[in-house]
Amino acid sequence: MPKILRPLDVYKYLPQTNCGECGESSCMAFAAKLIERQVSVEKCTPLSEPKYGKKLKALLEVLRSPVKEVTIGIPPNAITIGGKDVMYRHELTWRHPTALMIDVHDEMEEEELIKRVKFVNDFSFIRIGRELKLDGIAVRCVSDDSKKFSTAVSTVLKHTQLPLVLCSYNPTVLEEALTIAGDKKPLIYAANKQNWKEMAELSSKYKCPLVVSAPGDLSLLKSLTVSIKKYYNLDDFVLDPGTFVDGGTILDTISMFSVLRYAAIEGEDSDVGYPLLGVPAAVWSLFDGNDDEKRLMESIVASSLMSRYADILILHSIDVWPILPVIVWRDCVYTDPRVPPSVKPGLYEIGKPNEMSPLLVTANFALTYYIVKDDVERNKIDAWLVVVDTEGTSVQSAVAGKKLTAENIYETMVSSGAMEKVQHKTVIIPGYAARLSGELEDLLKDWRVFVGPRDSADIKQFLEKIWKQEVFGEKQ
Amino acid sequence: MKEEKKEENEKIVIDLLKLLSETDNVELEDVTIDAEEFAIEIVPAAAPGRPELFKLSLEPVMPGATGKIEFLVEASPQGLRVLGVPPVTPAAPAPPKVVELLSIPFKYPQLPYTSKIAEVQLGATKSEGGSRGVTYKLGGYSTPPMFLFQETSINRPLFALDVFDMRPTLAGPVKRSYADVLEDPVAWAKKCIETYKADLVSVHLVSTDPGIKDTPPSEARRTVEDVLQAIDEPIIVGGSGNPEKDIDIFREIAKATEGEKLVFASITLDMDIPKAVEPLVKHGQNAIALAFMDINQAKELSRKILEAGLPKNQLILDPTTGALGYGIEYSFSVMERIRLAALMGEEILQVPMSCAATNAWAAREAWMKVEEWGPRELRGPLWEATTAIVCMLAGADLFMMMHPLAMKIAKTFAEALQKVRKPLSEIPYEKWVEAKY
Ligand code: SF4
């Protein structure tokens, strides 16, 4: 069963002095936030006093998720992955969004390598006021040459502060790279059946998290993890069950990820209670097809594995179009499923509207609102915007689900005072709400209802070519 | 920590160590100098092969303070000497005692699901009372989709491409695929099946909307009959979304295609449900129930339809698909909740689910020309395919899609369910590390 904690379960390990250092009014209040994963243990500074050493240890143990949190890199650019408490996001918001790493290798031209690193540094996509970014670089050793690999790693280090994954099955190659990058706490890829002792020693010596890899063999994966844990006293693992993609084996991959996660959370098998690594980049070495087919496949593999429990992904393509759906899906799937992102219904002013300005209607889904607002602002249009309560759903969905109706548009227009704001007695509804226009006209009596464009990107053209002509045509 | 404090700190350390060296029994663990707010850690054998060397590190314990100073200290008969900063190579870990790979089998977890999703048949052959050359089975699963993948003899998800009975407004990349058939639903349907290899088509009778053309039921029926004549596959008959008119349309077509086991979309809560369901029951047709991203609404709708007499194996539930980036996560979670509840025993939810992945085209990321986002001829189909596959992983079984490439990607994914696949041990996955690409 997923671990559901009560405040008392953690309260007993707090200092219980209600000193308020954590910013909460009492230890109990802090306990409540701890179990909701809204605060981290470090906020209770008294706990770091030596006399609380035992309590702190016990507290961390109680708070440990069935999928352990593992940190890669160093502050301020460290990323934490894993920390999953539930199988399904409707049970509790998933935390620690899947980390997206882009690969480079040691036989790339330096120029190409730097270009790729810079692409990762600079990648940014803004959505609902949130900036979506990539997380780090995976450096692959293609040459099997320690010198070459170290050179590539130091070039990467010169150009980015982001966390790294160092990829080679050769411990000698990795050791040399770790002497220059070890203090940056990269993720080491990977310990397998052949090299696990040497890799475990490296992980222990440099205190870096370690990928345990056993492609297609979950028993071997578990055996390796348990052995390394036992003999080397390590606990910062990331598991790699293999990302198979060709001939439909992507389904086997998804199945392995799901079964591992199910075992960790529902089956309480702590031996596999670690973050999962997926390698959509494997498409480039395993999958037959041209480059665009590989990009499509890589993107689909990434989105599917993210839906089904991957905590970190290594990708190859640095084209924006295959990354876009992955990064947007990540932003969606890691939100709180209980609260639709919405804005307050009512009348909004964009720019400086007056009684001659257009009156637009939209839904109160946050994304819809921001997009409309952006488009109107970008085109330097002064407008009134009536935002109808569609329970946080987009126009298209809201029309289908009867959450955007002629009645509630009318009611919002009346209650928000929108009708007194304009003289032209016209209102523009979204293209997707076209079928509401007749009914709305009946309700509004002597008003005229315009069906605007489906996408607000076309609003300027619509206003100039149609609305202005029809409403003010004679006057101009 | 500030540089100028370093000297002062060194002095403290040396003094402290002198003091310690004169004592017989010293506990060095967890020593804290409260006044200075530093923790001291003394690690023996800081350098390999030099047991007389100690590493001493000063770490501030004050909240917010950062920085750590390390000294190398030599213990000799003359006293203690600070040698400076130790070499960066960390100490090698103590060699483990036994190092042999343990063999611990991974036990596949027992899944708790007790129930099964109904199996719906789409299309009927002549001997079954219809006229279809091709028929399909949908559903019949007893685990959630991601665990299904280990089985091979199961029904795979099905894919329908959209056809409209009048020229629709389509996104650029979609329009291009159908440019020659936009005015002709029959040719359009043939193209979907023959050229693009759709499993079936979804004929949207949008022109029947009283607010659009108000096409009468008899004319809509003729369109459907013509399409059925032209192709061998079953079809989905899509109404206009008008709750009154759709009932008339469904009644007319259900009767005329008696026994064909077509799919009628959609029945919604604002319809007179008994009236909408009656002809479907009478003429042996399937229905899609459209609920709005809400599990309770889905239950209510399903219950009403089943109570009106439609057998469970003639019902498909559509919980509404939001486009990727525009509410898809709600669809994902509602579908997942419906499927899990069904498998745990919630009878009225034990039906296949459908997904209108076409909604993906409402997202501007799919269709808009923006140079830095890359070619929309690929970006758009990928957006639609991702929308479909994400929903497939949550439990959707029947897909309504628009772009042929998007459908091809999603269909290939689903077809693998029925394929005999290579054993994973024969696939050189490890190559991804050292391959040049
Ligand atoms: S800082 Fe710690 S001890 Fe103080 S009130 Fe918060 S939880 Fe309690």
All domains of chain B in start order, with CATH: 51-83 (no CATH), 119-421 (3.20.20.20)
Distance of residue B230 Cα from the nearest chain A Cα, in angstroms = 31
Nearest to A341 by CA among B139, B349, B321, B325: B325
How far is Cα of residue B286 from the mean position of the Cα atoms in its chain?
27
Distance from CA of B352 to the nearest CA of A (A): 20
Confidence check: pLDDT of A167 > 50: yes
The answer to whether A137 touches A166, Cβ cutoff 8 Å, is no
CB contact under 8 A, A307 and B390: yes
SS3 A321: helix
List CB contacts (< 8 A) between B91 and chain A. Answer: 205
| Positive or negative torsion for Cα B143, B147, B150, B153 | positive
Q: What is residue A2's three-state secondary structure?
A: coil
What is residue A38's DSSP assignment?
S
Find out whether B267 and B305 touch, Cβ atoms under 8 Å.
yes
- Output the pLDDT for position A127: 82
Six-digit token pair at A64?
């440990």
pLDDT in tens, A90-131: 988 899 999 999 999 999 999 999 999 999 999 999 887 789
pLDDT at A191 over 50: yes
The angle subtended at Cα B22 by Cα B16 and Cα B28, nearest 5°, is: 55
Distance CA B31, CA B39 (A): 6
Please give the C-alpha separations between residue A336 and each of A91, A126, A198, B330, in angstroms, as whole numbers: 10, 19, 42, 10
Phi-psi category of A425—alpha, beta or left, where left has phi over 0 and alpha has psi -120 to 50?
left
Q: Where in chain A is CATH 3.40.50.11600?
A: 346-472
Shortest CA distance to A456 belongs to which of A409, A388, A389, A394? A394
**Counting Cβ atoms within 10 Å, is residue A111 exposed (0-12), middle (13-18) or buried (19+)?**
exposed
Residues B76/A174, Cβ–Cβ less than 8 Å: no
How many Å apart are CA B121 and CA B119, to the nearest integer? 7
The boundaries of every CATH 1.10.15.40 domain in chain A are 7-63
User: In testing the pocket of ligand 1, which one of A44, A47, A49, A56 has its CB within 8 Å of the most ligand atoms?
Assistant: A44
Architecture of domain A346-472 in CATH?
A: 3-Layer(aba) Sandwich (3.40)
Q: Using the beta-carbon criterion (under 8 Å), do B106 and A218 form an inter-chain contact? A: yes
Q: Which helix (H) or strand (E) holds A238?
A: strand A237-240
Could you identify the atom of ligand 1 that is nearest to the CA of residue A19?
Answer: 4
- B65 CA to centre of ligand 1 in angstroms: 20
User: What confidence score (pLDDT) does residue B45 get?
Assistant: 44
pLDDT at B224: 98
Chain B: closest CA distance from residue A267 (Å) = 6
Question: Looking at A119-133, A165-179, A192-206, B214-228, which range is the least confident one?
Answer: A119-133
A46 touches ligand 1 (CB under 6 Å): yes
What are residue B235's phi and psi, to 5 degrees? -130, 160
- Six token digits for residue A19: 């000193």
Kindly list the distances between the CA atom of residue A147 and the CA atoms of A103, A265, B90, in Å, as whole numbers in the listed order: 19, 42, 21
pLDDT along chain B (437 residues), means of 10: 57 60 49 45 50 54 50 54 53 63 93 93 97 96 81 84 94 93 97 98 95 94 98 97 95 97 95 97 97 88 97 96 88 95 96 96 89 95 97 97 97 88 93 96
Residue A282 has which token pair? 């494997």
| Cα A50 to the center of its chain, rounded Å | 37
- Ligand 1 atom closest to the CA of A20, numbered from 1: 5
Q: What share of chain A is helix, strand, coil (3-state, %, to 5)?
A: 45, 15, 35
Closest to B230 (Cα-Cα) out of B255, B193, B205: B193
- DSSP summary character for residue A251: H
| pLDDT at residue number A338 | 74
B242-268: burial string, b at 16+ Cβ within 10 Å, e else: bbebbbbbbbbbbebbeebbbbbbbbb
Residues of A in contact with B104 (CB under 8 A): 219, 222-223, 226, 271
Nearest to B325 among A246, A284, A332 (CB): A332
Apex CA A74: angle with CA A70 and CA A75, to 5°?
110
Q: Do B432 and A282 touch (CB under 8 A)?
A: yes
Chain A interface mutation, best of B68, B98, B106, highest count of A Cβ atoms under 10 Å? B106
**Yes or no: domain A7-63 corresponds to CATH 1.10.15.40:** yes
Tens of pLDDT, residues A37-70: 888 898 999 999 999 999 999 999 899 999 999 9
- Summarize the confidence of residues A319-347 as an average pLDDT: 90
DSSP H/E element including A28: helix A27-35
In one-letter notation, the amino acid at residue A404 is L
Looking at the DSSP bridge assignments, the partners of residue A99 are A312
CATH 3.20.20.20 boundaries in chain A: 70-333
Q: Specify the residue with its C-alpha closest to ligand 1, atom 3.
A: A15
pLDDT average, residue stretch A358-382: 88
B228 token code pair: 């059925």
User: What pLDDT does B29 receive?
Assistant: 47
Rounded CA separation B36/B33 (Å): 6
Tell me the CATH class for A70-333. Answer: alpha beta
| Token pair belonging to B195 | 């050229």
Q: Say what the pLDDT of residue B15 is.
A: 64
Question: φ and ψ at B377, to 5 degrees?
Answer: -65, -25
Instruction: Name the residue at shortest CA distance from atom 2 of ligand 1.
Output: A44
Measured between CA atoms, the residue of chain A closest to residue B364 is: A455
Rounded to whole angstroms, the Cα distance separating B389 from A299 reads 11
**Amino acid sitting at position A15:** P
From CA B25, how far away is CA B22, in angstroms rounded?
9
Among A74-78, A95-99, A349-353, A365-369, which is the least confidently predicted range? Answer: A365-369
- How far, in Å, from the CA of B239 to the mean position of ligand 1? 61
DSSP-assigned beta bridge partners for residue A188: A166, A210
Q: Is the CB of A15 under 6 A from ligand 1?
A: yes
In chain A, residues with a C-beta closer than 8 Å to the C-beta of B332 are 89, 307, 332-333
Give the angle subtended at the CA of B343 by the CAs of B342 and B346, to the nearest 5°.
35
Taking contacts as CB-CB distances below 8 angstroms, the residues of chain A near B107 are 263, 267, 269
Report DSSP state, residue A231. H
User: Are residues B331 and B359 in contact, defined by beta-carbon separation less than 8 angstroms?
Assistant: no
Is the link from the previous residue into A190 a cis peptide, with omega within 30 of 0?
yes
| pTM, rounded to two decimals | 0.82
